[in-house]
Amino acid sequence: MITITLNVNGATHKVNVRPGESLLSALRLGLGLTGAKEGCGEGDCGACTVIIDGRTVDSCIYPAGEAQGKKVRTVEGLASNGKLSPLQEAFVEHGAVQCGFCIPGMLMSATALLERNPKPSEAAIRLGLSGNLCRCTGYAKIVEAVRAAASPA
């Protein structure tokens, strides 16, 4: 085991990992941050999506050691002072969540999208979420939620 230092959601943590261990594993097992999920484990489904230095990555195939010195954000960091982010509120409001397994990844992809492009077209939203699979919703309500969060009433 080696000890690495991770900056996650603004806080610095020391974590013991095996060489080459995935960031997802370090987050879930090392830090108890179980928001990011393992779906396929091969970078196909996006359930493990986190944001590193402003860009989304599939943390299941991202080496934990590579995240040292970078800013990692997970779904646990979206709410502040117990208050959901406007995007999270929109997901609740629009019924964008069914089983919920893909939602942490969806929220991180949508968060990164809106930070880079605050007024995305529907095509841009669909492209921004194209690396996140959902097996329940059919995506329509998720896209609606992101659109609503992008243009608050």
Partner 1 sequence: MQSFTWINAKSIEEVKGALAKHGKKARIFAGGGDLTTLMKERIDTPEFVVNIGDVKDIHYIREEKDGLHIGAMTILADLAEHEAVLGRYTALAEAAGAVASPQLRNMGSIGGNLCQRPRCWYYRGAFHCYKKGGDFCFAVTGDNRYYHSILKGELCYMVHPSDTAVALLALDARITIAGPQKEKTVKAEDFFIGPRQDVLRENILQPAELITEIVVPTPPANTRSTFLKTRIRGSWDFALASVAVRCTAKNGVCQAARLALGGVAPVPLRVERAERALAGKKITRELSQQAAQLATAGARPMTMNRYKVDLTRSLVEKALLAVA
Where along the sequence are the contacts to partner 1 (CB under 8 A)? 19-20, 41-43, 46, 49, 55-58, 61-63, 65-66, 109, 126-128, 130-132
Helix (H, G, I), strand (E, B) or coil at 75: helix
Q: Which is nearer to partner 1, 127 or 140 (CB)?
A: 127
Q: CB of 105 within 8 A of CB of 43?
A: no
Q: Which is nearer to partner 1, 66 or 122 (CB)?
A: 66
Q: Which is nearer to partner 1, 34 or 66 (CB)?
A: 66
To partner 1, the closest distance from the beta carbon of 90 in angstroms equals: 20
Instruction: Kindly tell me the burial class for residue 82, based on how many C-beta atoms sit within 10 Å of its own C-beta (0-12, 13-18, 19 or more).
Output: exposed
Q: How far apart are CA 93 and CA 133, in angstroms?
A: 21
To partner 1, the closest distance from the beta carbon of 144 in angstroms equals: 18
Residues 6+ apart with CB under 8 A from 54: 112, 115, 116
Q: Which is nearer to partner 1, 55 or 135 (CB)?
A: 55
To partner 1, the closest distance from the beta carbon of 63 in angstroms equals: 7
